Amino acid sequence: MPIQVEVNLKIPRVTLRPADGPAQVIDNSAIRYTRLIDVPAVPKAGEVLQVAAGPFQTFDCSVTRSDWSDERELFIVSCSYAKRSMSGEEYDALVNDAEWKSKPLF
């Protein structure tokens, strides 16, 4: 039976290179992206979790910790984007997906 968890995703800085202008660097160090997903079991630290962004994009994230939230009555799974850098297409899919919510860290 699947378990619903909230993914709390940390992503790296993203450099967008438009064809008609200078590169734009987006610093994501003070933002986390969250989404509810169903998993077969609560992932443990060090495991890789595949998540979807948009209708056609999926990517891997590395689980750093899983904590139970008494207030929300679900597990919060903290993850980091698995690769060193994120492509512009993946970033666009993530920020334009209505199921992913951005959450400032202040």
How do residues 19-42 score in pLDDT, each as one tens digit?
Answer: 888 988 999 999 999 999 999 999
Whether the pTM exceeds 0.85: the reply is: yes
| Inside any domain, residue 23 | yes
Structure tokens at 16: 């967008």
The number of folded domains in the chain is: 1
Q: Which helix (H) or strand (E) segment is 71 a member of?
A: none
Asked if residue 38 is part of any domain, the answer here is no
Please count the residues of the chain: 106
For residue 67, is pLDDT > 90?
yes
Within 10 angstroms of residue 28's Cβ, the number of other Cβ atoms is: 19
Cβ-contact 81, 10 below 8 angstroms: yes
Per the structure, the complete domain to which residue 15 belongs is given by 7-32+43-104
Q: What is the pLDDT of residues 73-85, one digit of tens each?
A: 999 999 999 999 9
Residue pLDDT, tens place only, 46-61: 999 999 998 889 999 9
Q: What is the mean pLDDT of residues 61-67?
A: 97
